[in-house]
Amino acid sequence: MSDGFVILNKKIWICLLPVFVTVSLLVGSPAGADVYDDFSSENIDTTKWNIRSTPGGTPGLFTQSKGRLHFFGKRDAGESLLSTKSFPAGFFRIEFYDFYSTNDAPSGRGMGSFVALGLGPRDNYVRMLRGRVGTGGYFEANYFTNNGLKLWYDPTEIAFGQLGLYYDGSTVSFFYNIGLGADKGWQRVGPRVTPGWNFSPQLFISGYPGASGLTKFVVDSVEYTPVPLPLSLLKKLER
């Protein structure tokens, strides 16, 4: 449904530990999770992200305010935030809210609007997304390699939820969650894939408005949980 790699050319003093644990419990973070970015700074943190816009696109589709990352696009051009850091094996997730799209492009032509979480370089990446075309909303797993895109999708229409990728050091599994519980509710999409990376991959967040209409959403945080994963989460992901 979606096209190839859109964009990418295209706490802690001991005294603070109780506070950190309390906050983690309140926001539903799994034990051991590291918040890579909570988007609390005034602007997108360029020490954490490189901004990549679609060739010919207008920069600034992603903005940041009130502790959230915002995307707003209404033309056939997208944007990605590529992490300045590479990551070893672990579980990656984002929470998205207020997904809204009027994109009515036909299905199956790579014109879907989306919010996506991905790993890897331009020529060999994995991506989990929440998208929309004229037939409605869906979650979709993407694996791009050898100049070809493999995809698996699940038609689901929701405005908020989570996207997740589990990289065990060799294979990658794709997940979405229609709730916000960090250790439960995860649904697998597609099979495990083996990207064959001989390096630690970078993380990216992408937004794309599709071929028509307006698309907007917000992202609350980006989290990484290194292996070994908490048992409750691991059992859910490896069921």
**pLDDT tens digit sequence for 204-213:** 999 999 999 9
Residue 8 lies in a domain: no
Query: First and final CA of the chain: distance in angstroms?
Result: 27
Q: What is the pLDDT of residue 179?
A: 83
Overall residue count recorded for the chain in this entry: 239
Tally of domains within the chain: 1
Q: What is the pLDDT of residue 236?
A: 85
Q: How many degrees, rounded to 5, is the angle at CA 53 between CA 125 and CA 203?
A: 35
**What stretches in the chain show pLDDT beneath 70?**
1-31, 56-57
Residue 9 lies in a domain: no
Q: Give exposure, 83-103, as e/b (b: 16+ Cβ within 10 Å).
A: beeebebbbbbbbbeebebeb
Q: How many degrees, rounded to 5, is the angle at CA 177 between CA 184 and CA 209?
A: 165
Q: What is the pLDDT of residue 1?
A: 52
Q: What is the pLDDT of residue 163?
A: 98
Q: What is the pLDDT of residue 183?
A: 75
Residue 167 lies in a domain: yes
**Residue 96 is part of which domain span?**
34-237
**pLDDT tens digit sequence for 99-132:** 999 999 988 878 899 999 999 999 999 999 999 9
Q: How many CB atoms lie within 10 A of CB 38?
A: 15
CATH number of the domain that residue 134 is part of = 2.60.120.200
Contact 182, 30 (CB under 8 A): yes
Residue 123 lies in a domain: yes
Residue 193 lies in a domain: yes
| Rounded-to-integer distance, Cα 34 and Cα 92, Å | 10
Q: What is the pLDDT of residue 34?
A: 95
Residue 5 lies in a domain: no
CA 197 to chain centre: 19
pTM of the full predicted structure?
Answer: 0.86
- Residue 134 has what DSSP assignment? T
Residue 165 lies in a domain: yes
Residue 214 lies in a domain: yes
> Is the peptide bond prior to 228 cis by the omega test (within 30 degrees of 0)?
yes
Q: What is the pLDDT of residue 57?
A: 65
